[in-house]
A and B are shown apart, each in its own frame.
With several copies, the nearest count.
Chain A
Amino acid sequence: MDKSMLGDIDNLPDEDKMRMSAMIEQLQMRDSLRMYNALVETCFKDCVDTFRRKTLDKQEESCVRRCAEKFLKHSMRVGMRFAELNQGVATPD
């Protein structure tokens, strides 16, 4: 698995660069939508367990809000660490 595959992107003709960046933009949109779906499923599973009413009670709703905030912070932190590792930055134990 090497990273060189996209290395020569700068040498592509303009038309292909545009196509490439359109593709990246679309993958990013798909990625955010998937993240949104994953976040909702995770927090629903963690916070909602009773089905006696069809609306969330206060406790469930605040659990969902805290869960979503934590998920976003978590996923930003994972993203930072992941980027460091991708760039070969060493970090203390």
Chain B
Amino acid sequence: MAAAKDVQRELEKEMMFGMAEKEMEYRVELFNRLTHVCFEKCIEKRHKEAELNMGENSCIDRCVSKYWQVTNIVGGMLGTQQTQM
């Protein structure tokens, strides 16, 4: 019986680590998609320069900010629809 409880506790701990891992994976994936999309939308593709110019820099800032807003809007919609996400 003590053993069964140990197994139970062990599993709960695994679950906690697993969920924390999924949560971190989610953040990493969000960051990677954001980086990729804003590179596509803001950076001139012929790569004539090794520096980001002023236009590209402000485009990046706005792109990140708008992407963040979209994340929040969608998160709100999922939250109200499914009560949990």
The distance in angstroms between the C-alpha atoms of A21 and B24, with both chains bound, is: 12
Using an 8 Å CB-CB cutoff, how does the interface string of A52-66 with B read, 1 for contact, 0 for none? Answer: 111110001101111
A37 to chain B, nearest CB (A): 5
For the complex formed, measure the closest distance between the CB of B71 and the CB atoms of chain A, giving whole angstroms: 5
The contact string, 1 if C-beta is below 8 Å from chain B, for chain A 74-88, is 110111011001000
Chain B hits for A63, CB < 8 A:
46-47
Chain A residues within CB distance 8 Å of chain B = 1, 5-6, 15-16, 18-20, 22-27, 29-49, 51-56, 60-61, 63-75, 77-79, 81-82, 85, 91
Q: Please determine whether A37 and B26 come into contact, CB atoms closer than 8 angstroms.
A: yes
Q: How far is the CA of A27 from the CA of B47 in the complex (A)?
A: 31
Give chain A nearest CB distance to B15 CB in angstroms: 5
Q: How far is the CB of A32 from chain B (nearest CB, A)?
A: 6
Q: Which residues of B contact A29 (CB under 8 A)?
A: 19, 22
* 22 A-B pairs (CB sep. < 8 Å): A1-B75, A18-B7, A20-B20, A26-B19, A27-B21, A31-B28, A33-B25, A36-B26, A40-B67, A40-B74, A43-B74, A46-B47, A48-B70, A53-B62, A56-B66, A66-B50, A69-B50, A69-B77, A72-B78, A74-B52, A77-B61, A81-B61
